[in-house]
Amino acid sequence: MSESIKYLSGFGNEFASEALEGALPEGQNSPQVCPYGLYAEQISGTAFTAPRGFNQRTWVYRIRPSVSHTPYSQATRPAALAAEMVSTPNQLRWSPFKLPEAGESVTFVQGLKTVCGYGDPSMRAGIATLVYTANANMSTQRQSFYNADGDMLIVPQQGALLIRTEMGLLRVAPTEIVVIPRGIKFSIDLPDGPSRGYVCETFDRHWELPDLGPIGANGLANPRDFLHPVAAYQDIDTGAPFTIFTKYQSNFFSLQQAHSPFDVVAWHGNYTPYKYDLKLFNAVNTVTFDHMDPSIFTVLTVKTGNPGVALADFVIFPPRWMVAENTFRPPWFHRNCMSEFMGLISGGYDAKAEGFSPGGASLHSAFSAHGPDVSTFEKASAEDLKPIKLRPDGLAFMFETSLMMSVSKWALEECGDTLQKEYYSVWQGMPKKFNPNKK
């Protein structure tokens, strides 16, 4: 299946795709009669009057309009999604989040769990960090989902995701990410079996590439490496009804319709899902001395109205050469005005000798001190500073936000032994090295 999926490349482009030749109207968006008897429908991702450089919308040409469905009904929300939130400044770390047990059937949507967040999607302000663990396909249950609250940046850690969206198909494997904008319907299947990963949900604006400043015109995540789906429609209107779930103001609703929601034959616009392969990230780093700020590893950002301050940054720590001289090379000790949620996709992370495992996570909240553990500090303070390729198998990431995060009751109390309650101990026993008589 993955070999047969085609994509359109670019970031922020105006795309056009049709599964049937001539399905896109020529020269206009909404003709009196559309080709092939299709219905024209616009999906607006921003206000009509948003500045042209920020305006996002897509025209879709579908077999039936989206409005042909039953009324919305209140649906059961996954128990650990948007759970009760607790305020704590403690440094927190979780072992790998557990996959569904044998005999359970859990889809991607059913397996979503809130770890931390702050804000209110009703006010278009805030962020949520989630994990997912799943082992069941949505398509076999004729289920799909759209998130009215926010964009979803999904980071698979174990198991690929086969995602059918209104605009077409995406296959997203570990070391890749996918962004599904709010309002876009999708269904996720698990071609590799049980899957686990992370989600950053943002309630304001949309993800964009960071400004490069003095780096220049090239580097970090290059626009041409982002891939968007091509039109691929389903013409199904027999059998069991299709169920569409939505998250609206943090509540769950469902509706039913007799036809597939993925009946878009052609589309054009710039409001689409997309994926990116993190192995293509062009990292920059110091070639002289000192450990640079982690912002140099920013893949995508959601800006605020305050210049240089992000609602969310998606940052990665990929394999890279370390050549700094006379330098403590791991990340330094830090107290940050931002909140840092970290996950590990594969391998290890250079600030922690042990305890931070693929599929796990950590949270260091605003101004809560953090940094390398004792053994990492001792080793890095004495090692021979020759050039090394840092962890060729390692890939860590960070969701960083300017907001002060609360933590879900599920993540603090209800996830069993996944929470490492002794995490604070990795910094105990830091030796006193101060000697006023020896510089």
Catalytically active residues are 291
Structure tokens at 116: 């931390």
Residues 164, 169: Cα–Cα separation, whole Å: 5
Residues 22, 32: Cα–Cα separation, whole Å: 16
Residues 230, 168: Cα–Cα separation, whole Å: 5
CA angle centred on 267, ends 276 and 127, rounded to 5°: 45
Residues 274, 153: Cα–Cα separation, whole Å: 10
DSSP 376: H
Q: Residue 271: beta bridge partners?
A: none
Identify whether the C-beta of residue 344 lies closer than 8 Å to the C-beta of residue 359: yes
- Alpha-carbon separation of residue 163 from 177, 232, 274, 330, 332 (angstroms): 12, 12, 11, 37, 39
Identify whether the C-beta of residue 143 lies closer than 8 Å to the C-beta of residue 245: yes
Structure tokens at 64: 């039936």
What is the full DSSP assignment across 157-170?
A: EES-EEEEETTEEE
What are φ and ψ of residue 60, in 5° steps?
-115, 150
Q: How many CA atoms lie within 13 A of 170 on its CB side?
A: 29
Q: Which long-range contacts (CB under 8 A, 24 or more apart) does 378-383 make?
A: 378/431, 379/353, 380/328, 380/329, 380/330, 381/328
Q: Which residue has the tokens 């876009």?
A: 184
CB neighbour class for 319 (10 Å; exposed up to 12, middle 13-18, buried from 19): middle
- Alpha-carbon separation of residue 337 from 278, 361, 400 (angstroms): 27, 20, 10
Residues 207, 219: Cα–Cα separation, whole Å: 18
DSSP 35: G
Q: What stretches of 181-241 adopt beta strand conformation (E)?
A: 186-189, 195-202, 227-229
Nearest to 154 by CA among 33, 274, 6: 274
Q: Which residue has the tokens 């919308």?
A: 57
Which are the contacts of 21, defined by CB distance < 8 A and separation ≥ 6? Answer: none
